[in-house]
Amino acid sequence: MSVFRGGRCFAVINRARLAKGLGTAGIAGFMILAAPSHSESLDSSQPPVAVHKIGRRSVLTDGRGMTLYVFDKDKVPGESACNAHCAVAWPPLLASADAKASGKWSLVTREGGSKQWAYKGKPLYTLYEWDVKPGDTKGDGVGGRWHVARP
Protein backbone atom coordinates (compact mmCIF):
# COMPACT_ATOMS: atom_id res chain seq x y z
CA MET A 1 0.00 0.00 0.00
CA SER A 2 1.19 3.55 -0.68
CA VAL A 3 0.13 6.81 0.87
CA PHE A 4 0.70 10.38 -0.20
CA ARG A 5 1.90 13.05 2.21
CA GLY A 6 2.89 16.49 1.10
CA GLY A 7 2.77 15.39 -2.54
CA ARG A 8 5.22 12.52 -1.90
CA CYS A 9 4.48 8.83 -2.20
CA PHE A 10 5.46 6.45 0.62
CA ALA A 11 5.27 2.66 0.73
CA VAL A 12 3.63 1.42 3.92
CA ILE A 13 4.59 -1.92 5.42
CA ASN A 14 2.87 -3.37 8.50
CA ARG A 15 6.09 -4.35 10.34
CA ALA A 16 4.37 -6.23 13.17
CA ARG A 17 2.47 -8.43 10.74
CA LEU A 18 5.60 -8.89 8.65
CA ALA A 19 7.66 -9.93 11.68
CA LYS A 20 5.07 -12.46 12.85
CA GLY A 21 4.82 -14.08 9.42
CA LEU A 22 8.47 -13.99 8.32
CA GLY A 23 10.68 -14.04 11.41
CA THR A 24 13.98 -12.15 11.65
CA ALA A 25 15.73 -13.82 8.70
CA GLY A 26 12.65 -13.41 6.53
CA ILE A 27 12.40 -9.71 7.36
CA ALA A 28 16.01 -9.14 6.33
CA GLY A 29 15.36 -10.88 3.00
CA PHE A 30 12.14 -8.95 2.47
CA MET A 31 13.82 -5.61 3.16
CA ILE A 32 16.52 -6.41 0.62
CA LEU A 33 13.86 -7.19 -2.00
CA ALA A 34 11.85 -4.07 -1.13
CA ALA A 35 14.83 -1.73 -1.45
CA PRO A 36 15.33 0.35 -4.60
CA SER A 37 17.91 -2.17 -5.79
CA HIS A 38 14.90 -4.41 -6.45
CA SER A 39 14.42 -2.29 -9.56
CA GLU A 40 14.75 -4.00 -12.86
CA SER A 41 18.40 -4.41 -13.80
CA LEU A 42 19.53 -4.70 -17.37
CA ASP A 43 22.00 -7.11 -18.95
CA SER A 44 22.61 -5.15 -22.13
CA SER A 45 23.51 -1.68 -23.21
CA GLN A 46 20.14 -1.18 -24.95
CA PRO A 47 16.86 -0.35 -23.18
CA PRO A 48 14.63 -3.44 -22.75
CA VAL A 49 11.55 -1.48 -23.71
CA ALA A 50 8.72 -2.23 -26.12
CA VAL A 51 5.61 -0.40 -27.30
CA HIS A 52 2.35 -2.17 -26.50
CA LYS A 53 -1.20 -1.23 -27.33
CA ILE A 54 -3.32 -1.06 -24.17
CA GLY A 55 -6.88 -0.19 -25.01
CA ARG A 56 -6.70 2.58 -27.59
CA ARG A 57 -3.33 3.95 -26.62
CA SER A 58 0.25 2.89 -27.14
CA VAL A 59 2.42 2.73 -24.01
CA LEU A 60 6.03 1.90 -23.22
CA THR A 61 6.58 -1.35 -21.33
CA ASP A 62 9.60 -3.01 -19.77
CA GLY A 63 11.10 -6.34 -20.85
CA ARG A 64 8.35 -8.23 -18.99
CA GLY A 65 5.53 -6.25 -20.60
CA MET A 66 4.85 -4.15 -17.49
CA THR A 67 3.76 -0.54 -18.02
CA LEU A 68 6.36 2.21 -17.59
CA TYR A 69 5.59 5.60 -16.04
CA VAL A 70 6.92 9.17 -15.98
CA PHE A 71 6.86 11.59 -13.03
CA ASP A 72 5.86 15.25 -13.40
CA LYS A 73 8.39 16.32 -10.74
CA ASP A 74 11.29 15.19 -12.97
CA LYS A 75 12.00 18.69 -14.29
CA VAL A 76 15.81 18.96 -14.20
CA PRO A 77 17.37 17.28 -17.26
CA GLY A 78 19.53 14.31 -16.29
CA GLU A 79 18.09 14.03 -12.77
CA SER A 80 15.40 11.96 -11.09
CA ALA A 81 13.21 13.56 -8.43
CA CYS A 82 12.02 10.12 -7.25
CA ASN A 83 14.51 8.76 -4.71
CA ALA A 84 14.48 7.00 -1.33
CA HIS A 85 10.90 6.06 -0.34
CA CYS A 86 9.54 7.18 -3.69
CA ALA A 87 11.89 4.81 -5.54
CA VAL A 88 10.66 1.90 -3.39
CA ALA A 89 7.07 2.48 -4.53
CA TRP A 90 8.08 3.49 -8.08
CA PRO A 91 11.26 1.53 -8.97
CA PRO A 92 13.37 3.20 -11.65
CA LEU A 93 14.06 1.32 -14.88
CA LEU A 94 17.74 0.76 -14.20
CA ALA A 95 20.36 0.52 -16.92
CA SER A 96 23.53 -1.53 -16.93
CA ALA A 97 26.89 0.16 -16.37
CA ASP A 98 27.71 -0.19 -20.08
CA ALA A 99 24.39 1.26 -21.30
CA LYS A 100 24.62 3.82 -24.11
CA ALA A 101 22.26 6.69 -24.86
CA SER A 102 20.94 6.70 -28.41
CA GLY A 103 18.29 8.70 -30.25
CA LYS A 104 15.33 9.37 -27.95
CA TRP A 105 16.91 7.21 -25.22
CA SER A 106 19.10 8.84 -22.60
CA LEU A 107 20.52 7.94 -19.21
CA VAL A 108 20.02 9.59 -15.83
CA THR A 109 22.61 9.16 -13.08
CA ARG A 110 20.72 8.49 -9.85
CA GLU A 111 21.70 9.22 -6.27
CA GLY A 112 24.28 6.57 -5.45
CA GLY A 113 25.62 6.47 -9.01
CA SER A 114 23.35 3.90 -10.70
CA LYS A 115 21.97 4.65 -14.16
CA GLN A 116 18.32 4.91 -15.14
CA TRP A 117 16.78 4.86 -18.62
CA ALA A 118 14.94 7.96 -19.81
CA TYR A 119 12.82 8.43 -22.92
CA LYS A 120 12.74 11.87 -24.52
CA GLY A 121 14.51 13.14 -21.39
CA LYS A 122 11.92 11.73 -18.96
CA PRO A 123 13.19 9.10 -16.47
CA LEU A 124 11.19 5.85 -16.61
CA TYR A 125 9.67 3.99 -13.64
CA THR A 126 7.61 0.89 -12.96
CA LEU A 127 4.84 0.32 -10.43
CA TYR A 128 5.33 -3.20 -9.13
CA GLU A 129 3.09 -2.61 -6.14
CA TRP A 130 -0.16 -2.13 -8.08
CA ASP A 131 0.53 -3.32 -11.61
CA VAL A 132 0.54 -7.08 -11.18
CA LYS A 133 0.22 -8.24 -14.79
CA PRO A 134 1.17 -6.94 -18.23
CA GLY A 135 -1.37 -4.40 -19.44
CA ASP A 136 -2.15 -2.98 -15.97
CA THR A 137 -1.99 0.83 -15.85
CA LYS A 138 -3.10 1.43 -12.26
CA GLY A 139 -0.40 4.05 -11.75
CA ASP A 140 -1.73 6.38 -14.45
CA GLY A 141 -2.82 9.64 -12.79
CA VAL A 142 -1.70 8.69 -9.25
CA GLY A 143 -1.32 11.85 -7.18
CA GLY A 144 -1.89 13.85 -10.36
CA ARG A 145 1.85 13.46 -11.02
CA TRP A 146 2.37 9.97 -12.45
CA HIS A 147 1.50 9.11 -16.04
CA VAL A 148 1.87 6.21 -18.43
CA ALA A 149 4.99 6.62 -20.58
CA ARG A 150 3.95 7.04 -24.20
CA PRO A 151 6.04 6.81 -27.37
Instruction: Identify any residues that bridge with 125 across adjacent strands, giving them in sequence order.
Output: 69, 92
Residue 9 DSSP class: E
Query: What pLDDT score was predicted for residue 128?
Result: 74
Query: What pLDDT score was predicted for residue 12?
Result: 38
SS3 15: helix
| Per-residue tens of pLDDT for the chain, all 151 residues | 333 334 433 343 333 333 344 344 433 333 333 333 334 444 467 888 999 998 899 999 999 999 999 999 999 988 999 999 999 999 999 999 899 999 999 999 999 899 999 999 999 999 878 999 999 999 999 999 999 999 9
Model pTM score: 0.70
Q: Which long-range contacts (CB under 8 A, 24 or more apart) does 4-7 make?
A: 4/143, 7/143, 7/145
Query: What pLDDT score was predicted for residue 44?
Result: 60
Query: What pLDDT score was predicted for residue 50?
Result: 92
Query: What pLDDT score was predicted for residue 21?
Result: 42
Query: What pLDDT score was predicted for residue 45?
Result: 74
C-alpha closest to that of 85 among 35, 15, 129, 140:
35
- How many other C-beta atoms lie within 10 A of the C-beta of residue 22? 14
Query: How far apart, in whole angstroms, are the C-alpha atoms of residue 66 and residue 82?
Result: 19
